Amino acid sequence: MLDDRLDVVEERRRDVHPLHEALQLDQLARVQARLERGDQVAPLDALEQRALGVAVGIAELDRFQMRLSIGYPASEDEAAVLREDPGTSALRALAPVLLPADVLRLRASAQRIKFDDALIAYLLAIVNETREHEGIHMGASTRAALALRRAAQAHALLDERDYAIPEDVRELAVDVLAHRIAVQPRAGAGCGGEEAQWLLREILDRVPVPL
């Protein structure tokens, strides 16, 4: 069983933040030592399972660009869904809004949006704060920083600008980063919840915005 866990960690190492990887390997080393001593205990206790699960979970969530909440539909809209059951009828009538070529064209346009060095420094200051904040157990990865830059460029494109500004970063930082960090247990376990969003807003308030 332990060998299987080691194989899984090895397969995921390329996608895991160095801090996450260190936590996983540390937990597995503890298990190995306990088994070698002949301890008659479960390979992973509850705390270890949670720590390992959070590390692996964030590595997987790090692949998603954003986490958005749309809430519940209005009462009249929900009633219409129950009456009409659109999944069995309206779905067949849907037409594409964009063709694949349109998506590729827009992606290329977003990549050309100017993102100057001062803005890179601002974005990295936000990311570094997530790694040093006392309430955050695991901060944002380099992949998260890249995702935020890309999202800010897309935001600028939709605003019909050929350059990004700090507001593009601030507007999307919580949606892009909240599911990629893990808060300290005392602050609320897990990742991506309301506590993570609150901590990110706190960070945005205290990181100086470039002029």
Query: pLDDT tens digits, residue range 120-162?
Result: 999 999 999 999 999 998 899 999 999 999 999 999 999 999 9
Q: How far is CA 156 from CA 115, 141, 162, 173, in A?
A: 10, 23, 7, 14
Quick check: 40 and 73 in contact, CB under 8 A? no
pLDDT of 111 above 80: yes
Indicate the domain borders of the chain: 2-61, 100-206
More confident residue, 99 or 57: 99
CATH of domain 100-206: 1.10.8.80
**Rounded to two decimals, what is the model's pTM?**
0.67
Q: What is the mean pLDDT of the chain?
A: 79
Q: Using CA atoms, how far apart are residues 45 and 58, in angstroms rounded to an integer? A: 20
Of 46-60, 69-83, 92-106, 196-210, the one with minimum mean pLDDT is 46-60
- % of the chain residues with pLDDT over 70: 69
* pLDDT-based confidence at residue 189 (cuts at 50, 70, 90): very low
Torsion angle, alpha carbons of 152, 127, 66, 165, to 10: -10
